[in-house]
Structure 1
Amino acid sequence: MLTPPDNPLLHIFLLGHMRVQSSTGLSLLPTGTKTKALLAILALSNRRPVARTRLAELLWSRRAPEQARASLRQEIHRLMDVLHPLGPEVLDVQRHTLAIRPGLTDIDIEHVFRTTPQTVMALPDPLPPLLEDLSAVDPGFATWLEEERNRLLDYKTAQLEALLASTTEPATIMAATRRLLRLNPLNECAWRAYIQAAMHSKEESTALLGAEHCLRAFSHTIAATPGQETMRLIAEVYATHQQNTRGAHGALLPLPHAPSALSHSPVADDPLRLLRATVFLSCPTADCTTKNVALAERFRDELGLDMAMHGVLDISVQSECLTAPPFQSLPSRRQWDFLVGITITGSSEGKTTCLLQAFDTRLNDTIVWGHRLSLTPTSLRALSSRFASALILSLFTTEARRLASVPVAALSPFGMGLRALTLSMRADPRLHDTIERLMAEAQRRAPENPFLFFVRAHSLLIRMYDEWHMPVADYIQPMVTMLKQNFTLFPGDIAARYLLSTGLFYANQPDEARFLLAQMHAALPTDSPMSMLALPDGLDALCQGDAVAASRIYTAFFDTAPNVPLFSAPDQEFILSCFLAEQYEETLRHARGILATSPDRSAILVPALAAANMLGHQSLAQDYRQRLHRLHTPLCASAMEGHYAYLPAHLRQKLCHALHLTQP
């Protein structure tokens, strides 16, 4: 985060009602809602350039791209007019991007993001809502604003939790936990710290009251009890209270109402613990034909099999077709963490339409993911492959969110692996050390957990894309060796087979990779772009030098929802294949979309820079080059040769030529 300017020309206030003032106190707040929203997006972008395409999507999501861009140009002119004569001093307007310049502007939200565990208590409590008066701008803006509010909430929560981890002063702990619990009443870390601080200060009544409030919060919000560690602490509080309140004849005085779970002995952590889910089919309407039901039953069975073959979940399938909601028809549903339901909603022209949903049984059967789809006999296998991966990723994401407030020391090996997986998906090099520590401790405690093995291989593959200081083949070979060892133990594990075939391509062992890929096609016979096998197919085409075919395969895959795969993020190969197929405008268009949310992806920036050079977009190329320099990505021929050694020589030469690199 940049340091604040000494003499700012402009002050932008985003907390509460938006305000914009010059250094003399003159209000420069735009009158138009869209103009305000435009300035707000730029002010919350950490002074980084924001692509015009991204701005247009956020502010005019329901308009055609050409109309949205035209409207954006008008709003830019309005914003420059409002800020006149300060506009050129504070705004950097380029052909493809906009940004607030690093100096001469003070933004209140940046002060919040500069707080540390030692200074977070100086913030107002509660903070005024972010952009309180800018809610009805556009659906795209509303989604973005919700994400920004969550980012602010997550940052403040992280600083308060870090303060709890670094202080032993009871008064500070009590004050910090009160703030945390106002932010999230289900933060178990805060509840434990609050109760422990009260007990340490000999305030038994405060500890008991905290225990009661904790139990009530979980009961009223999610109809469940807190986790095992919190319940053990609450049991200790009640046990201490019992000892201190015995009557003269040894009788116990009445206790606060404790849930029955307190009487259960804690269950030891299972080192082989996996998430548990069951797949069921529901046909609530009477007009479901036998043909519709038969097709949906095939999809249910294939989906359950595909999810099980990944080897990272405990999966079962309910064989009967339910007519009542599963929450009534599955009385033992609490034995599963998630229910995956396929509900037939109709049929037309030989298609069976279904609603595919995932429910969290521990959150009162809340829907955590859903998608509508149409089944046909020819698309069924491809859809099963694709949605198995999408569902697994969704369940992992939901579980990771549920465990987000749990401190690392309280996580099970599975929880540590889950946190490492979600961190690795951010593709942020700054998180590599944290991921390594999580995986080392998790695998030390559970060396045979198949989920941890998957996370380890997956994180290495993700990290490979940011490794530019050694040849990719050398970096990836230890992962390939590890996967081969696992493959002999679990030959039916589709996740291991997928990761191994991908790693073999990068390790310059294409014959072995194609042999495994052929086996997967035989087990999951489909050439459809909807299938997850489209991703290694695209990499195979790229390694054979057919960038046009690779680009076509990746484009078809990413144009079909859901387009977020479970495995390694292949969007870098998508962007690379677009460039190598000489689709330069498409390269930049797709790259901008990725970089808008993940601006430090070097594997995206390199082909994007090459495309910008080929199109003569000098300002954009300079921006990408500066980002790569900041990321310490070596822009030299030897680094390109090592990083893209899996490509044929003529494709590497094309990339080096576009990057203006002289090959040895």
Structure 2
Amino acid sequence: MQDADGVTASRISLFGGFRIEKEAVGPLWLTGKRGPAIIAYLARCPGMSATRERLADLLWGDSDSEHSRNSLRQTLSVLRRDLSRAGVDLIHSRKELIGLRPDAVRVDVGEFESGLSARSAPELETALALCTGPFLDGFYLGSNAFDEWAASERERLLSRALESMEKLARLVDAESGLAVADRILAMEPTREEAYRLKMELLVACGQRDKASRTFEACRSILKKEFGVDVSPETRALWQSLSAADVSSGQQSVNGAPAVQHTGRPSISVADFVNLTGERGDDFFAKGLVHDITTALSEVASYIVISGLSPLEKSGEESRASAPRARYMLSGSVQRSGDELRVNVQLVDAVGGHNVWAQKFDGHFENALAFQDRIAQSV
């Protein structure tokens, strides 16, 4: 890759250790560990720059100010010499600031974090492929400040990777999702969320016996490592999955159609309650439900089940025919004059607890714009 001036950018890899290389040259050899430590830290700083004082404290915190400043100057001199031999102009300084040239470098961690906002499975897989190992794996400087910073980044990036892998597992088909869930558990064997994910996917694949063994494995490792039982959420999920009918098209005892699992969570959008009783507010509430359903349907991460209007079905008939979903989105609308208030809540239908809730205030004269704002927020 080249920058705007046609200069080949260097690549810094911080996952799995430290590595810097230049296209057509290969890996660059740097003297000692403090030079690479400076590059690694600057690569993660806003603007890829930091003050001399910060770098001196980070790498030589046990020394007095004068000694640490001298050590920093010497290390920077050696680092520039090593880079210059490879034809790499990477370090720049301006008064009290030391930095990397952002246009002359690519950093795997930065590309990884940018890619995690992807909404499609292929894009997310590309981002996750950059995480080839723990952040600065095996790189220890012997400076408490630097090693603590690296450990904190290592933990933060691992958490982001695991959360994104769980997201990926719900974007792909159930069998592919199972492979992702197994990767998560290999990286973090005590991650209870991953066991719940795997249980759901196994049931979706019709493998109830393996889902049962997964639940027991979760109980066993939590008991062994922490001396605790599974969380109420995990137990409730297992009880729900055990009773669920996963056969395609099969009806439950009360006649409600079972939602076919595809590795993605299902959300049912219920009709919003009109608390003021005005007919005009009924139309607003119905329009809001339609807008929210449309907005959620555009997100590939979910299966959206729209609620049935009471004008279409009511009473026992409505309850009996309503599809069962993992999550239920509901809300209420109330108006006082021109002032509107909408309360929205998302409930985990398995665990029975609130996942998210928010209050929105607006004006009736701008009802359509207000609907759009709520739908996009949800």
Give your verdict on TM over 0.5.
Answer: yes
The one-letter code of the counterpart of 1:65 is S
Matches within 5 A, 1:618-657: none
Q: Secondary structure of the residue that 1:50 maps to in structure 2?
A: strand
Considering Cα pairs closer than 8 Å and 6+ residues apart, tell me whether 1 or 2 has the greater RCO: 2
How far is 1:88 from its partner?
A: 7.9
Residue aligning to 1:199: 203
Contact 1:4 1:106 in 2 (8 A): no
Corresponding position of 2:174: 170
Distance across 1 between alignment mates of 2:352 and 2:189: 19
Please say if 1:229 is aligned against 2:233: yes
Q: 1:60 Cα shift?
A: 0.9
CA contact (8 A) 1:9 1:86 kept: no
Amino acid at match of 2:112: V
Percent sequence identity over aligned pairs: 23
> For 2:214 and 2:60, how far apart are their aligned partners in 1?
47
- In the TM superposition, what is the alpha-carbon distance from 1:44 to its structure 2 partner? 2.6
**SS of equivalent to 2:149:** helix
Distance 2:195 2:167 in 1: 15
CA deviation after TM superposition for structure 1 residue 74, in Å = 1.3
Task: Work out whether residues 192 and 230 of structure 1, in 8 Å CA contact, stay in contact via their aligned partners in 2.
Answer: yes
Secondary structure in 2 matching 1:134: coil
Pair 128,51 (structure 1): closer, same or farther in 2 beyond 3 Å? same
Q: Distance in 2 between matches of 1:112 and 1:203?
A: 34
CA distance in 2, matches of 1:217, 1:120: 29
Please tell me whether the aligned partners of residues 5 and 106 of structure 1 are also in contact (alpha carbons under 8 angstroms).
no
Q: Which residue is equivalent to 2:156?
A: 151
**Cα shift at 1:53:** 1.7
Task: Label 1:87 to 1:4 Cα distance change in 2 as closer, same or farther (>3 A).
Answer: closer
Instruction: Quote the Cα distance in structure 1 between the aligned partners of 2:352 and 2:41.
Output: 36
For 1:64, the equivalent position in structure 2 comes to 64
Number of paired residues?
Answer: 251
Cα distance in 1 for partners of 2:57, 2:230 equals: 41
- Unaligned runs of 5+ residues in structure 2 are 246-345, 361-378
Where does 1:296-307 land on structure 2 (aligned, <5 Å)?
A: none
Query: Would you say the 8 A contact 2:190–2:222 is kept in 1?
Result: yes
Distance 1:81 1:10 in 2: 16
CA-to-aligned-CA distance 1:132-180 (integer Å, 9 cap, x gap):
342143111110110111121122123223334x526212321222232
Asked if the contact 2:108–2:130 (Cα under 8 Å) also holds between the matched residues in 1, the reply is no
Shift in alpha-carbon separation, 1:163–1:22, aligned structure 2, 3 A: closer
Deviation at 1:73, TM superposition (A): 1.4
Quick one: distance in 2 between partners of 1:146 and 1:219?
A: 26
What is the identity, as a one-letter code, of the residue corresponding to 1:131?
L
More strand by share: 2
**CA distance in 2: counterparts of 1:412 and 1:207, whole angstroms:** 23
Amino acid of the residue matched to residue 137 of structure 1? Answer: G
Secondary structure in 1 matching 2:150 = helix
Q: CA separation of 1:95/1:156 partners in 2, compared to 1, >3 Å: closer, same or farther?
A: same
Match of 1:430 in 2: none
TM-score for the superposition, normalised by structure 1: 0.34
Residues in 1 aligned to 2:192 and 2:93: alpha-carbon distance in whole angstroms: 46
Mapping for residues 252-263 of structure 1, pairs under 5 Å: none
Cα 1:200/1:155, change in 2 over 3 Å: same
Partner SS state of residue 92, structure 1:
strand
Instruction: Give 3-state SS (helix, strand or coil) of 2:12's partner.
Output: strand
TM-score (norm 2): 0.58
Aligned partner of residue 98 in structure 1, secondary structure: strand
When residues 92 and 158 of structure 1 are mapped into structure 2, their CA distance, relative to the original with a 3 A threshold, is farther
- When residues 213 and 412 of structure 1 are mapped into structure 2, their CA distance, relative to the original with a 3 A threshold, is same
Q: How far is 1:196 from its partner?
A: 1.1
1:350-371 deviation per Cα after TM superposition (whole angstroms, max 9, x unaligned): xxxxxxxxxxxxxxxxxxxxxx
Q: 2 CA distance for matches of 1:99 and 1:202?
A: 55
Task: Report the Cα offset of residue 65 of structure 1.
Answer: 2.2
Q: Which residue of 2 aligns with 1:93?
A: 93
Q: 1:125 to 1:219 in 2, by over 3 A?
A: farther
DSSP-derived class of the 1:20 partner: strand
Aligned pairs for 1:551-562 within 5 A: none
Query: Equivalent residue for 1:141?
Result: 146
Map residues 240-251 of structure 1 onto 2, 5 A cutoff.
none
Structure 1 residues 125 and 88, CA gap change in structure 2 (3 angstroms): closer
Offset at residue 68 of structure 1 (A): 1.3
Structure 1: which 5+ runs fail to align? 242-406, 417-437, 444-664
Match of residue 184, structure 1, among 173, 183, 188: 188
2:83 alignment counterpart: 83
* Code of the aligned partner of 1:224: V
For 2:110, give the aligned amino acid: E
- 2:115 aligns to what SS in structure 1? coil
What's the Cα RMSD here? 3.3
1:127 to 119, 126, 132: 132
Per-residue deviation at 1:87?
Answer: 7.7
Task: Work out whether 1:440 is the aligned partner of 2:321.
Answer: no
Report the secondary structure of 2:57's partner residue: helix
Q: Residue 24 and residue 200 in structure 1: after superposition, are their counterparts in 2 closer, same or farther (change >3 A)? A: closer
* SS of equivalent to 1:39: helix
Residues 43 and 100 of structure 1 are in contact (CA less than 8 Å); yes or no, is this contact kept in structure 2? Answer: yes
